[in-house]
Structure 1
Amino acid sequence: MTKIFLRTLTLSILMLGITAGIFYMLWDQDEQKWATLYEFFYSDLPIGAWIVIGFITLAFLIAIWSNSITKKKESQIAKQLDLITHGELSKKKMRGLSKRNRKALISIDELVQTQKKSLQRMTNDKANVQEKAVQERLVLERQRLARELHDSVSQQLFAASMLLSATNETIGENLPEANAKQLAQTEKIVQQAQLEMRALLLHLRPIALKNKTLAQGLQDLLDELRQKVYFNIQERLEEVTLPKGAEDHVFRIAQETLSNTLRHSKATEVQLLLVERNGIVIFRVQDNGVGFSIKDDSHAGSYGLRNVEERAIEIGGTCKVVSIPDQGTIIEVQIPVEQEETKNDSHTTS
C-alpha cells in the first residue's frame, strides 16, 4: 500500500506540474483566464479543484495498475527462479518475459547447472577418494590377518599333520582297527584344514601384479602355489594385450578359480592357459577333480562362479563353465581385445 501511495503522489505532482506548465504557456500571466479555475464552480467545487481531484484519481488508478503489473512480473520471475533451482527451466515457460529478462534467466540457469555439476563432481571425487582409502585399509588388514594366520594357525596345522602322519606310520599297524581308522580320518581332516587354510591365505594375501605383465604375475602365483599344494600344475602362459584394469580382473579371476579348485575339486592335476587368438584373450583353468552338476546351484556357488562371471562381464568378456561329475571342470573366460583404429589414407578423396 505504501508503494501505491508514493506512486500516486509522484504521478499527481508530475501531472499537475505538466498541466500548470501547459496553462502557463497558453495563458501566460492573464489573470482573467487564471481566475476561471477558482471562480467557476461545479457541484460546489471550483474547476481547479476538480482538475486536481481528477489528476489524483487518475494517478491512483495508474499506480494500482502499475503495481499489479509489477507484482505479476515479480511472481513470474520468482516462478522461473524456482524452476531454475529444480532444473526445469524451458523457453516455453518464459513466455511473456522481455528479451532481456529471458537472457538473464538463461544465464542464471546455466550458471546454476554448472555449479550443480561441479558440486556433484566434487562429491563423487570425495566419495571415490574415501572408497579408495577404505580399500587400502582393507588390503592392509587382510595382509596382516594373512601373516598372522600363516605364522600361527597354518604352521600349527602343518605340525599337527606331520605328527599325525608320523604317528600313523609308527604305531598305526599296532592299533585296533577302529582306532587306526579314527587316526587316519583325523589325519585327513587336518590335511583338508590345511587346504582350506591355504585357499583362505590365497584370498587374504593375493599377489599383486606390481608393474608386471599378466603372464608374469600368473607365473609368480603358480610358483608360490607349487610350494603349498599336492597336485600337479601345468601352464601355458603367453603375453597378451589387455588394458591394466582388465589384466587385474583376469588376475583376480585366476586367484578365485585356483582357490576354489584347491578347496573343492580334489584334483591331482590342474592346467592353466592364457593365450591371445584372433583378437580374443582366452584364459582357461581345467582340473581332473570331482566336478559337479551345472544344474546344482549349491555346487556352482561353492566354486565361486558368480564372482568369476561378474568380473568377466565387467571387462566386456564372457565366462563358460563345463563340468562333469567325477571327471573334472573347465572354466574359460574370453575377453575381446580393443583394436586401435588406423587411418587409411588411400580411401581419402580430394
Structure 2
Amino acid sequence: MKAFITRGVLLSLLFLSVSFGILFLLLGVPAEETWMPLIEDERYDMPPAVWILAGAVALGWCLSAWSALLVRSAGKSVEHRLAVLAGGSAETDETAPLPDKTERVLAEVESLIGTQRERLKQISDERAETQEELVQERLVQERQRLARELHDSVSQQLFAASMLLSAMAEKERLERGEPSKVLMQVEHTVQQAQVEMRALLLHLRPAALNDKTLSDGLRMLLRELDEKVHFEIRGRIEDVPLSKGAEDHLFRIAQETLSNALRHAKATELDVLFVERDGLAIFRVQDNGVGFRDGGGKAGSYGLRNVRERAIEIGGTCKIVSVPSQGTIVEVKVPALPSSDGEGGAQSAEAGDPSGGADGTALLQPEQEETEGSR
C-alpha cells in the first residue's frame, strides 16, 4: 500500500509538471493577461486550472493502480512457478506471461533446484548403500567371531568328551564284553552334537571366496568336511565360468545345503556335483539320508527357502526332490558365462550324465516327489 501511494503521488506530480510545461510553451511566461483566465474563467463550472489539476492527479493515480495490478499479477505468476518448483512437479497451470529476463532467471533456478534434487537423491542412495555394506561387514565379522569362539571352546570340549567316552566304552568292552547302553547313548549324543557343531560352524563361515574361484572354494570345503565327518563324501567339481556375484551366491548355497545335510539327513553318503552343461552351471547335493515329506511350513524349512531365493536372485532355478528313507537332492541351475577354450565340452564328455549322482547313478527312485520340508 505504501508503494501504491508513493507511486500515485509521484505520477500526479509528474503529470502536473508536464501540464505546466505545455502551458508554458503555449502561453509563454506567466502574465496576468495570459494566465489569469485559467483561474477566473468559469464557463465550464470550474476554472481550467482546476480541470488541469484534477486530470493530472486522476491520471497519475490511475496509472499507479494499473502498474500495481501488473506487479501483483507478475508476483503471483512468480510465486506459482516457485511453488511448482518447490513441490517437484513438472506441470504448470496457465499463468500470466513474465518478462524474458524473469523467465531466464526462473529457468536457471529450476535447473539449479533439479540438479540439487538429483544430487540429494544420489547422496541418499549412496548413504543407504554404505550403511548396508557396513551392516554386512559387521555381520560377517560377528559370524567369524562366533565361529572362532565355538571352534576354540565348545567344539574342542565336545571332541575331548567324545574321546573320553570312546575310551570308557573300549574299557567296558574289554572288561564286560560290551559297553552299557547308557554309555553308548551318551557317546552317540556327543557325536551327534559334534556333527551339529560342525554344521553350525560351516553355516557361520563367511560366504566370501577371497579371490578364489567357486570350484576352488568347493574343493576346499569338501576336503575340510571329509576330514571332520564320519561318512563318505564324493565330489565332482569342474571349473565353470561364472560372474563374481553368482559364485558368491552359489558358494553360500553350497554352505547352506551341506549344513542341512549334516544336521538333518543322517546320511552315510553325500555326493556333490558342480558341472557345466548346455550353457548352465549345475550344482547338486545328493544324500542317502532320511529324506522328508512336506513339512507344512515348519521353521526348519527356512534354509531351503533361503536356497531358492538365492538361486532366483542370480537368475537361476532350484529343484528340491526328497523321498522319505531314500534321500534328498537339491539342484541349482544358473546360466554360465561363455567359455572361450571349449573346456566345457571335454568335461561334459568325461563327466557322464549329470542327472544322476556323482558316479552317474541316481540315489533316488523314479517315483521321487518334489517337496520342500523340514530342513
1:9 corresponds in structure 2 to 9
What SS class does the counterpart of residue 281 from structure 2 fall into? strand
Aligned position for 1:290: 290
Q: 1:72 and 1:207, CA in 2 relative to 1: closer, same or farther beyond 3 A?
A: closer
Structure 2 stretches of 5 or more lacking a match?
340-375
Alignment-derived partner of residue 74 in structure 2: 73
| Cα distance per residue 1:26-69 (max 9 Å; x no partner) | 33337344333222247885322332222222322322232133
Alpha-carbon offset, residue 171 of structure 1: 1.9
Give the AA of the match of 1:332. E
Q: Which one-letter code corresponds to 1:324 in the other structure?
A: V
Contact 1:239 1:275 in 2 (8 A): yes
**What amino acid is aligned across from residue 167 of structure 1 in structure 2?**
M
In terms of mean alpha carbon deviation, does 146-155 or 116-125 score higher?
116-125
Match of 2:115 in 1: 114
Q: After superposition, what is the alpha-carbon deviation per residue over 1:83-128, rounded to whole angstroms, capped at 9, x for unaligned?
A: 11111132x4254223624443333222212111111211221232
**4+ aligned runs moved over 6 Å, structure 1:** none
Matched, 1:184 2:194: no
For residue 145 of structure 2, what is the aligned residue in structure 1? 144
Distance 1:42 1:333 in 2: 111
Structure 1 position 256, deviation (Å)? 0.7
Q: Hey, what's the Cα distance between the residues in 2 that align with 1:61 and 1:138? A: 76
- 1:264 is displaced (CA, Å) by 0.6
The answer on 1:243 being equivalent to 2:246 is no
CA contact (8 A) 1:207 1:221 kept: no
Matches within 5 A, 1:268-283: 268-283=268-283
Matching residue of 1:157: 158
What's the RMSD between the two structures over aligned residues? 2.6
Q: Distance in 1 between matches of 2:207 and 2:314?
A: 20
Q: Given the superposition, is the C-alpha separation of residues 339 and 104 from structure 1 closer, same or farther in structure 2, using an over 3 Å criterion?
A: farther
Alpha-carbon shift at residue 322 of structure 1 (Å): 0.9
Structure 2 counterpart of 1:159, which letter? A
2:319 counterpart of 1:320: yes
**Shift, 1:205, TM fit:** 2.6
99 and 325 in structure 1: CA distance in 2 versus 1, 3 angstrom threshold = farther
Inter-partner Cα distance in structure 1 for 2:85 and 2:53 = 47
Partner in structure 2 of residue 347 of structure 1: none
Q: Which residue is equivalent to 2:351?
A: none
User: Which structure 2 residues correspond to residues 1-350 of structure 1 after superposition, within 5 A?
Assistant: 1-29=1-29, 31=31, 32-41=33-42, 46-90=47-91, 92-93=92-93, 95-98=95-98, 100=100, 101-171=102-172, 180-206=180-206, 208-294=208-294, 296-298=296-298, 301=301, 304-337=303-336
- The amino acid that maps onto 2:93 is K
The question of whether the paired residues in 1 share the 8 Å contact of 2:231 and 2:267 is answered with: yes
Is the partner of 1:270 in helix, strand or coil? Answer: strand
Matched residue pairs, number?
Answer: 337
1:283, CA displacement in angstroms? 1.2
The Cα shift of 1:174 comes to 6.9
Instruction: Give, in whole Å, the separation in 1 of the partners of 2:157 and 2:188.
Output: 15
Counterpart-to-counterpart distance in 2, 1:298 and 1:75: 64
Distance 1:150-1:22 versus aligned 2 partners, 3 A rule: same
State the 1:160 CA deviation: 0.9
C-alpha distance 116-58 of structure 1, shift in aligned 2 (>3 A): same
Change (3 A) 1:60 1:149: same
Higher relative contact order (CA 8 A, sep 6+): 2
The answer (yes or no) to whether the contact 1:294–1:300 under 8 Å persists in 2 is no
The answer on whether the counterparts of 1:208 and 1:217 sit within 8 Å (CA) in structure 2 is no
Structure 1 residue 133: Cα displacement: 2.5
**Does the aligned pair in 2 maintain the 1:236–1:273 contact within 8 Å?**
yes
Supply the AA of the counterpart residue of 1:69.
Answer: L
Q: Normalising by structure 2, report the TM-score.
A: 0.82
- Deviation sequence 1:124-147 (CA, Å, 0-9, x none): 212322332232222222212211
- Aligned residue type for 2:186: T
Structure 1 residue 339 displacement after superposition: 5.7
- Unmatched runs of 5 consecutive residues or more in structure 1: 341-350
Segment drifting more, 72-81 vs 307-316: 72-81
Q: Secondary structure at the match of 1:241?
A: coil
- Aligned letter for 1:150? H
- Contact 2:318/2:331 (<8 A) preserved: yes
The residue identity in structure 2 corresponding to 1:334 is K
**Within 1, Cα distance between the matches of 2:62 and 2:338?**
77
Per-residue CA distance 1:284-336 (angstroms, 9 max, x = gap): 1111111111463328616x111111111111111111111111111111112
